[in-house]
Structure 1
């Protein structure tokens, strides 16, 4: 895992629509940005609601040398990140990190199954290109709302031919995960990026197949859950304050705005550093992280503040700190 990223001033050099609701954005820095491995991402300092928040985006493999490019989907229930990114135009300045990687290829497997849902194709595209370039056995199963809303279909077709399978939902097409996994050799590996429900179904299929958990690698978006984003409130034990979390802000951001000290890192629901204790809650907890176990989520006593929410209710939480 590479976490040695540094913040730099970057300039937007190019933007273009690459699918319905999906924009590709390319950045350059005063000094050439370092090369990066498939699965890498950058963090962007986004101006949101009069303040700033950190958003992360996977790196595409087709940027000019020394540049970095990402693809961003404009979400109808955006917390502000995608709206900010869609407002950028060539010449704009923005703070970004150099690429870092929490979703690395192992390069050890005899064959690979890459699974993508919607904008989750962004890290998968680089993996597919790298594996195909080395002559590895690789298949990609790619689902989305419609072909028009699925970016990078044509480059993938050129790259993979019949090793690419497309599953547009508007055509009634769904990935048969059990069959896809069955086509892997015993030591084959899966890499998946997509919404949380897709990941959960894939994890269940992997477990049913009796596969080793170490050969199932994943990355998810922290903005997809079981409930639509609605406002909720939390009372923070020990501080005597109540914080309102609007639909377009995370609990972590709202706590930060209120001056509540928090430890955090990934902001993607992966590391667990921002987890808070839930002492009481009215309204279901919409767990959107991949850090807590299924048992912990069922207990309902913890919540990852960077991505998870209370669905239209109220909670009493303990951050572990005292003023």
Structure 2
């Protein structure tokens, strides 16, 4: 059960390969585009095993009323739950059901300095932020990390627009971004915006907390919440409902529960908002927490888990899906 969206039909006007395994989709909604700011995303209905599911994609670039198009970047992932596979199967002219833009990752203007940090496909929301800051003459830098330059979308355009404000880190060139050093270099009043894999976000959060920097000055968005263990099938038991549900290796607990008729409130589906939290009554194996909602201490307690991303490695879990106010206390 997700928060209510306002949906519309959109036609895929163009599909462009913008990097290895990354495609840019140009969408033309029937109702015209709605104003949005950098960091916004839209929800898209995709078909997985013939059933409709919802995936969220950041809007690329900045709002331009002329032309009336949305742009989203989709990376093809080998371990995809099906969203990227479905999107990559589409061709220009195909139609999608999309939501109006929403923004939970919005820039706050008026700061003396900004640092933007993007890892891989995490550049999609950060790209528009960099352009907006440049247009406003703000003082900022963008640190962009990836496996190789050929896998990093918008790199040439960013270089042309940002010049020395852009720093590129690529694993194949032996230059990796050190998030501890990044946070150590943050000066008072600076806001840090981060979008990338869970390992990057965890590293930044730990370094940020260690320095005692203001919590509100760190803004982040996650994607592809990979965990510490490979995803394998596990079983979920819900004694209160008398149900046992199998969760496939390429399926989330949230999706499996929904298919089994177990309603769990959710929204972000990337382990950030905490709406899908369930109580862990017992478990075998290891709880593989893949969210950024709970603190390290809460994760170590293994009393709750985010059904949208977290899993059980080499075991099973017994949960209760009943609403608990404490689920939303951090």
- TM interval, shorter chain, is over 0.9
Which residue number in structure 2 is paired with residue 11 of structure 1? 11
Moved over 4 A (4+): none
CA 1:183–1:294: 2 relative to 1, 3 Å: closer
Structure 1 position 182, deviation (Å) = 4.1
Q: How does 1:70-89 map to 2 (within 5 A)?
A: 70-89=72-91
Which residue number in structure 2 is paired with residue 152 of structure 1? 154
Alpha-carbon displacement from aligned partner over 1:98-128 (angstroms, at most 9, x marks no partner):
1100001111311000001110000000000
Question: SS of the residue aligned with 1:38?
Answer: coil
Question: What CA distance in whole angstroms lies between the structure 2 residues aligned with 1:210 and 1:220?
Answer: 22
Which residue number in structure 1 is paired with residue 47 of structure 2? 47
Which residue number in structure 1 is paired with residue 168 of structure 2? 166
Q: How does 1:103-122 map to 2 (within 5 A)?
A: 103-122=105-124
Which residue number in structure 1 is paired with residue 32 of structure 2? 32
Which residue number in structure 1 is paired with residue 272 of structure 2? 270
Structure 2: 5+ residue runs without aligned partners? 324-330
Aligned mate of 2:310, from 294, 304, 308: 308
Which residue number in structure 1 is paired with residue 328 of structure 2? none
Question: What CA distance in whole angstroms lies between the structure 2 residues aligned with 1:251 and 1:134?
Answer: 43
Question: SS of the residue aligned with 1:70?
Answer: strand
Question: SS of the residue aligned with 1:56?
Answer: strand
Structure 1 position 309, deviation (Å) = 1.0
Which residue number in structure 1 is paired with residue 183 of structure 2? 181
In 1, are the aligned partners of 2:43 and 2:54 still within 8 Å (CA)?
yes
In 2, are the aligned partners of 1:59 and 1:122 still within 8 Å (CA)?
yes
Higher mean C-alpha displacement, 158-167 vs 64-73: 64-73
How many residues in Structure 1 have an aligned counterpart in Structure 2? 319
In 2, are the aligned partners of 1:16 and 1:23 still within 8 Å (CA)?
yes
Structure 1 position 204, deviation (Å) = 1.8
In 2, are the aligned partners of 1:111 and 1:184 still within 8 Å (CA)?
no
Question: What CA distance in whole angstroms lies between the structure 1 residues aligned with 2:228 and 2:158?
Answer: 30
TM-score under structure 2 length normalisation = 0.93
Question: SS of the residue aligned with 2:241?
Answer: coil
- Structure 1 residue 280 corresponds to structure 2 residue 279: no
Structure 1 position 4, deviation (Å) = 8.2
Which residue number in structure 2 is paired with residue 69 of structure 1? 71
Structure 1: 5+ residue runs without aligned partners? none
TM-score under structure 1 length normalisation = 0.95
Instruction: Quote the RMSD (CA, aligned, Å).
Output: 1.6
Question: What CA distance in whole angstroms lies between the structure 2 residues aligned with 1:283 and 1:295?
Answer: 19
Which residue number in structure 2 is paired with residue 200 of structure 1? 202
CA 1:28–1:313: 2 relative to 1, 3 Å: same
Alpha-carbon displacement from aligned partner over 1:217-252 (angstroms, at most 9, x marks no partner):
000014322122211111112122211111221111
Structure 1 position 52, deviation (Å) = 1.4
Alpha-carbon displacement from aligned partner over 1:278-305 (angstroms, at most 9, x marks no partner):
1111121111111122211100111111
Higher mean C-alpha displacement, 121-130 vs 291-300: 291-300
